[in-house]
Amino acid sequence: MLESEDIVIIDTMNVSAGIMLSLIEAGKMVKAGKSLKEIEAEVRSHKDRIKVLASFDTLENLVRGGRLSKAAGAVGGILGIKPILTVKDGRLEMKDKVRGTKKALKALTDFAEAAKVKPGTEVILIHAKADEIVNPVKAIFDSKGVSCIIVPVGTVIATHGGPGFAGVFYLEA
């Protein structure tokens, strides 16, 4: 169909903007004239180097989507619980549960402060109506001289994340 045999399928073991990071880097390598083998090796190396942290402002959409029980959602909502997720071995995992939006923002800003971003790569910030979370995180990367791409989430993530969802993705040095 593509009239080429030069196709390699790689499971990035990531989601959303994590996959986008690998695609951006592969595109840069194509433009630089790198071979298919070099590009494949680099993209495969991303599997353990793409770092992700995401926060949810509400549990409501996770309950509606069947990702969380109604009872857990009700208790978590009353307590103001904000789940903080990461990607590990290709799966979304709970990294922490914090109480309140300020603590969720702190988790993401601490993540940004500690980030060791591969030089020449961008950080991708995704969100669903969460400028108040994304902008302070972007400011941290700006102060480090690291470029950010801000992307509104797609429909699938927005459905499960809901308004106030935000995520940070970067390729580790």
Rg of the chain in Å (alpha carbons):
17
pLDDT at 160: 78
pLDDT at 161: 79
d(CA 131, CA 74): 26
User: Which strand (E) or helix (H) includes residue 151?
Assistant: strand 148-152
pLDDT at 168: 97
pLDDT at 56: 85
Give pTM, 2 decimals.
0.88
Chain-centroid distance of CA 78 in Å reads 27
Q: Mean pLDDT by 10-residue block, N- to C-terminus, for the chain (173 residues)?
A: 83 90 95 96 94 86 69 69 86 86 94 96 94 95 96 84 91 95
pLDDT at 10: 92
The contacts of residue 126 (CB under 8 Å, 6+ apart) are: 16, 17, 54, 150, 151, 152, 153, 157, 165, 166, 167, 169
